[in-house]
Copies of this chain bind each other. A is one copy, B any other.
Amino acid sequence: MEPAGRPSPPSLTALRAFEAAARHGGYVAAARELNVTPAAIGTQVKGLEAWLGRPLFHRLPNGLVLTPEGRAVLPALSAAFDALNGAVRTMRAVGRPRELTLAALPCIAQLWLAPRLPGLQAAFDLDLAILTRDEQPDYARELVDLGLYFGAAAPAGCTAVVLARDDLFPVCAPVLAARLRRPADLGGATLLHDSVWREDWPRWLHAHGPGALRPAREATFSLYGIALDAAIAGSGVLIGHSALVGKLLAEGRLVAPFGERVVTGPPLRLIVPEGGDGRLAPVVRWLKGEGGPNSAVPHDSLEPEPVAATG
């Protein structure tokens, strides 16, 4: 019953499943994007191949590779779905002009964005939806108007505005700082880690630390915000991100015992999907204005120099 002859088009679901699988090079990733199981993707792709009458993927033992046919149609398909998603985006923007969806790293949402939310809402009368996600969303596919992430470059199809440079340096509660005069003193302290930023301490120590450091204790937190709370509570020393801890430093709840010794990470960027509606521009401008003054880094010497993107 498969070569029915009637040129009834394949289902849109199948096309979308194939497009996602082809773009990601695998069912698992495609399934994640579409919020289904890999088996569902596989079924749809198989159906599409049946409709076509020939395979779209070579099933190699270690994964999928597009056939020439598949490779030939993927660009057009992807472009079409991008257009479709763009249409949906403008549709929502037209339908709910006051709604704005922001995606951000959880810690950015908590530490950078949250304090600025009242001001943002006061300035624009917006209904804000905050989406906290560890990975940047696919702006072409998801209904996200803006993103807030650390990154060296803008994702494809987006422009990016640097909101604040990001310098990494140890921070701790004032009571602990008294005992920390030189990096070597960290040997007697508890080092606090964030699980997704495991490299923060190694990077800083590599640049500024004593040769071999064996800290007294270590603790790892799955959320940077919690780690910061622990640091404030005096539990140990955490690597602070200047873009996020500026306010806490200004308030004196945290101090930077080795203030001038920093390493520089990718800056905090505001990601603006291209082709967005005009109502975004003032918001972008406002957020950009917020970036500078309020995220004050504690070292004047670092301020004037504009940040260059690193590979």
- Please judge, given known A-B contacts A80-B86, A90-B73, A94-B73, whether A12 and B12 are in contact too, CB under 8 Å: yes
Which residue in B12, B76, B91, B142 is a CB contact (below 8 Å) of A52?
B91
CA distance A91 to B76 in the complex (A): 9
CB of A101 within 8 A of chain B? Answer: yes
Label chain A's interface by main secondary structure: helix
CB of A129 within 8 A of chain B? Answer: yes
Interface string of A81-99 (1 = CB under 8 A from B): 1011111101110111000
Chain A: number of interface residues, binned into ranges = 35 or more
- Of A2-10, A174-182, A244-252, which stretch is located at the interface? A2-10
- Cβ-defined contact, A54 with B10, below 8 A: no
- Cβ-defined contact, A12 with B16, below 8 A: yes
- Cβ-defined contact, A101 with B7, below 8 A: yes
Chain B residue with Cβ nearest A97:
B69
- Please judge, given known A-B contacts A53-B96, A95-B54, whether A80 and B84 are in contact too, CB under 8 Å: yes
CB of A72 within 8 A of chain B? Answer: yes
User: Which chain B positions have C-beta within 8 A of A283?
Assistant: none
CA distance A101 to B6 in the complex (A): 10
Which residue in B12, B54, B143 is a CB contact (below 8 Å) of A7?
B143
User: Which chain B positions have C-beta within 8 A of A92?
Assistant: 7, 52
User: Which chain B positions have C-beta within 8 A of A35?
Assistant: 8
CB-defined A-B contacts under 8 Å, sample of 28:
A5-B129, A7-B101, A7-B129, A7-B131, A8-B35, A9-B85, A9-B88, A9-B143, A10-B88, A15-B84, A15-B87, A54-B95, A54-B96, A69-B91, A69-B95, A72-B94, A73-B87, A73-B90, A73-B91, A73-B94, A76-B90, A77-B84, A77-B87, A79-B83, A79-B87, A80-B80, A81-B84, A83-B84
4 new A-B contacts, CB < 8 A, other than A76-B87, A81-B84, are A12-B13, A15-B88, A76-B90, A80-B80
